[in-house]
Structure formats: structure tokens, C-alpha cells
Amino acid sequence: MAVIDGRTWFEHLNAGECWRLLGITPVGRIGVLVDSAPEIYPVNYTVDRDTIVFRTAPGQKLRGLDRSPSVCFQIDGIDPEARTGWSVLVKGRAADVTNPDELEHLRQLPLEYWNVGDRPNWIRIRPAEVTGRRVHRGRA
């Protein structure tokens, strides 16, 4: 726990709570390098065996992942009125999934898209680090 000021404090989330939040949040943001510049893209995703998987179409995001597979992935929940919230940050490496058996497994996962269009590429993020924190208001 860290006190920010007399009214606000935050707690560091343990790995179990980070993975619980990752398992119930349908949209995250992936940060990738595209032509040496960071870009952030929202994606629908799901969790599979302590990894994050999502689908994407060919384009800048996929090109960036192919050239520089080190990524950041973030989810959060915010209550603006209460001025509270939480965030989870995953740092790791992303790879295009091409193994037919693994692809068949991924197709069975509950991954729902909010956008239309074909996304033929499955991407798996293998975390090197998973951290999170929750901001509270009031007494610690």
C-alpha cells in the first residue's frame, strides 16, 4: 500500500488478482512499435493458460508485432465519480500462432468481437511481467 495524499492510496495487486481481472475484462489495449514509433490498439482478447490471445487482420499492428514482438498490454476499470479504479499491465512477447493443433484449441475459446471483419491471425502474448494496482479513496 502507498499513500498518495491524505485522501487517496493505492494497493499493488497480486498476480492472482491481475489474472482474475484479465479473465473478466473483454477489451484491452496492446502497445506495439510500428516503424520505431509506439502505437496502441484496442483488441478483444481472452486468457488461455496464463497467456493472452487475440485475433487480428494484416496491417500495421501485425507488421509491428512481426518486426518487434516485445509488447505491453493493459486493461483497466475506472469509476470517475468515485475517483477510483484499477489497472493491470502485462509486458511480454507476442507471436503469431501457426501450429494447427494450437489454432484448433484457440478456436474453441470464448473470444467475442465487437467489430466486424475477418481476423485470420491469432496472436499469443507470453508474459514476462504482470503487475497491477488499485486506487482507493478514503482512509487506508
List pLDDT tens digits, range 81-129: 988 999 999 999 999 999 999 999 999 998 887 777 778 899 999 999 9
- Region 40-60: mean pLDDT is 95
- Mean pLDDT in the chain? 91
The three state secondary structure string of the chain is CEECCCCEEEEEECHHHHHHHHHHCCEEEEEEEECCEEEEEEEEEEEECCEEEEEECCCHHHHHHHHCCEEEEEEEEEECCCCEEEEEEEEEEEEEECCHHHHHHHHCCCCCCCCCCCCCEEEEEEEEEEEEEEEEECCC
Structural domain harbouring 81: 2-137
How many domains in the chain? Answer: 1
Q: What is the pTM of this model?
A: 0.89
CATH of the domain at 93: 2.30.110.10
Residue 34 pLDDT? 92
Residue 4 pLDDT? 54
